[in-house]
């Protein structure tokens, strides 16, 4: 009898370990797209994520280091791309992202039918006012970044993603949607955090709708405020994921400009799903398809034509530094494991002691 009780108690105690270690709790609402977050380990497997088989590539600093808003996340997550897509982001004053059209990725995706903003780089009049630039979304709480990215990825938005700190995008975009933070334990009462900003049934009260300033002198945020992902979202039929001159953004000072020198696609430093754990700056400039680097967190072959032969990720077959990396360091982000395992262990010890005292 005692053995059966112990087995049951141990099963209950350790069940909470089967949920992901990050984020700290769910903010997934009823209308959010994609599978239930709590089932991710069963849905995708240990050490795998919804983006693991994608063509997504984060744009690194030229020395192979991570952009400032996700630098701390790169130190704690399994790969740099996980930091790019999931955070946690270091944006104390909020964040916003723009999904922008990318010639080589996402044509015909949900983005094409949901442009919702116009850049403030030209005078907006009654004749010129229209949403022609892409899809903008943000929030005042940095924890909402993960949930917005996950939702829009699964809604089928695809293109080039440029995210920056500091909500709202005043002087950058004429308008931008908002994602509300859901307090812990309230997700089951939330229908849509993109539409209910102050509680269930409250409506869209915090979206940015100010338009563009008069006589605006357009200036993109500095690179140290932003991070960028090429090939964001699900791939369309026939896409290869290869980064070309048509994949990257324009040079500054153009609206939505590319970051970190990637306007010259061959000069960009990229990190994809199959790169290894972040190892910090390489100390040398790594340049696209011609680079030679020992840093496993950098996909130095991301721009090579051989990447087009890989059907699951841009450079899996050519990246000899990242093999097996997805299976290593599985969900062992710093600061999160203790949240998941310590309560389970203490509960198990308590239950075992209780059983043997019977």
pLDDT in tens, 22-41: 999 999 999 999 999 999 99
Cα–Cα distance measured from residue 17 to residue 36, given in angstroms and rounded to the nearest whole number: 16
pLDDT at 227: 98
**pLDDT value at residue 341:** 36
Q: Which residue did the predictor score with more confidence, 10 or 226?
A: 226
DSSP state of 275: -
Q: Is pLDDT at 17 greater than 90 in this prediction? A: no
**Residue 243 class from Cβ within 10 Å (0-12 exposed, 13-18 middle, 19+ buried)?**
buried
Q: Say what the pLDDT of residue 231 is.
A: 98
What per-residue confidence (pLDDT) applies to 106?
Answer: 97
User: Is 3 within a domain?
Assistant: no
What is the structure's pLDDT at 127? 66
pLDDT of residue 83: 98
Q: In degrees rounded to 5, what are phi and psi of residue 147?
A: -75, -35
pLDDT over threshold 60, residue 178? yes
The answer to whether residue 99 sits within a structural domain is yes
Q: What is the C-alpha separation between 10 and 352, in angstroms, rounded?
A: 8
| Cβ-Cβ contacts under 8 Å for 73 (sequence gap 6 or more) | 66, 82, 83, 86, 87, 88, 89, 90
- Encoding tokens for residue 303? 């721009």
Least confident of 127-141, 159-173, 276-290: 276-290
Percent of the chain with pLDDT over 70: 73
Between 358 and 72, the higher pLDDT residue: 72
What's the token pair of residue 110?
A: 């949900």
Counting the structural domains of the chain, the total is 1
- The per-residue pLDDT for 199 is 82
Full strand arrangement of the beta sheet holding 269-271: 177-178, 135-139, 95-100, 159-165, 226-232, 57-60, 269-271
Average pLDDT, the chain: 81
Q: What would the mean pLDDT of 186-207 be, rounded to a whole number?
A: 90
Higher pLDDT, 335 or 255: 255
Confidence (pLDDT) at 269: 97
* CA distances from residue 237 to 103, 135, 138, 263 in whole angstroms, order as listed: 14, 22, 29, 25
Cβ–Cβ under 8 Å, residues 175 and 117: yes
Flag whether pLDDT at 187 surpasses 90: yes
Q: How confident is the model at residue 161 (pLDDT cuts 50, 70, 90)?
A: very high
- Span 128-136, mean pLDDT? 86
Contact 61, 247 (CB under 8 A): no
Most confidently modeled range among 224-238, 285-299, 302-316: 224-238
b/e burial code for range 36-74 (CB count within 10 A of at least 16 → b): ebeebbeebeebbbbbbbbbbbbbbbbbbbbbbbbbbbb
pLDDT band at 154; cut points 50, 70, 90: very high
Confidence of residue 203 (pLDDT cuts 50, 70, 90): confident
pLDDT digits (tens, 9 = 90+) for 301-321: 465 433 333 333 333 333 333
Residue 345 maps to a domain: no
Evaluate whether residue 12 is within a structural domain. Answer: no
Does the residue 217 lie in any domain? yes
How confident is residue 325, by pLDDT bands cut at 50, 70 and 90? very low
Comparison of pLDDT for 313 and 256, the residue scoring more: 256
Q: Is 87 a domain residue?
A: yes
Comparing 142-146, 199-203, 221-225, which segment has the lowest mean pLDDT? 199-203
Q: Which of 210, 57, 226, 59 is nearest to 145 (CA)?
A: 226
Q: Give yes or no for residue 270 having a pLDDT over 80.
A: yes
Is the pLDDT assigned to residue 244 strictly greater than 60? yes
Judge whether residue 246 has pLDDT over 60: yes
In the numeric block, the tokens 């721009």 are attached to: 303
Confidence at residue 204, expressed as pLDDT on a 0 to 100 scale:
85
**57 is in which domain, residue-wise?**
22-335
> Does residue 350 fall inside a structural domain?
no
Residue 289 confidence (pLDDT) above 50: no
With 60 as the cut, is the pLDDT of residue 258 above it? yes
| 211 found inside a domain | yes
What pLDDT, on a 0 to 100 scale, did the predictor assign at position 311? 34
């Amino acid at each position: 009898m005692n053995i059966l009780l112990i087995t049951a108690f141990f099963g209950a105690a350790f069940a909470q370990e089967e949920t992901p270690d990050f984020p700290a709790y769910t903010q997934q609402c009823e209308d959010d797209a994609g599978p239930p977050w709590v089932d991710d380990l069963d849905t995708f497997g240990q050490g795998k994520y919804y983006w693991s088989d994608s063509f997504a590539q984060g744009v690194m600093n030229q020395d192979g280091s991570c952009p400032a808003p996700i630098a701390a996340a790169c130190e704690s997550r399994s790969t740099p791309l996980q930091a790019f897509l999931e955070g946690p982001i270091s944006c104390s004053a909020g964040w916003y992202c723009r999904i922008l059209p990318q010639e080589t990725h996402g044509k015909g995706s949900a983005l094409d039918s949901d442009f919702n903003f116009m850049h403030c780089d030209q005078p907006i009049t009654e004749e010129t006012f229209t949403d022609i630039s892409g899809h903008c979304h943000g929030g005042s709480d940095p924890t909402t970044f993960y949930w917005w990215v996950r939702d829009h990825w699964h809604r089928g938005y695809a293109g080039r993603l440029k995210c920056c700190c500091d909500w709202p995008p005043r002087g950058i975009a004429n308008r931008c949607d908002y994602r509300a933070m859901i307090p812990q334990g309230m997700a089951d009462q939330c229908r849509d955090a993109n539409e209910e900003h102050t509680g269930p049934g409250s409506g869209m009260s915090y979206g940015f709708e100010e338009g563009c300033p008069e006589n605006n002198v357009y200036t993109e945020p500095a690179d140290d405020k932003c991070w960028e992902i090429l090939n964001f979202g699900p791939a369309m039929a026939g896409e290869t994921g290869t980064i070309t001159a048509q994949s990257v953004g324009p040079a500054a000072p153009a609206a939505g400009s590319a970051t970190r020198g990637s306007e010259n696609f061959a000069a960009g430093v990229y990190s994809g799903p199959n790169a290894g754990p972040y190892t910090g700056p390489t100390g040398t400039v790594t340049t696209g398809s011609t680079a030679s680097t020992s840093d496993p967190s950098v996909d130095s072959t991301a721009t090579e034509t051989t990447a087009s032969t890989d059907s699951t990720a841009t450079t899996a077959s050519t990246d000899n530094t990242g093999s097996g990396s997805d299976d290593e360091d599985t969900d062992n982000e710093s600061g999160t494991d203790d949240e998941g395992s310590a309560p389970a262990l203490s509960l198990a010890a308590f239950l075992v002691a209780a059983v043997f005292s019977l």
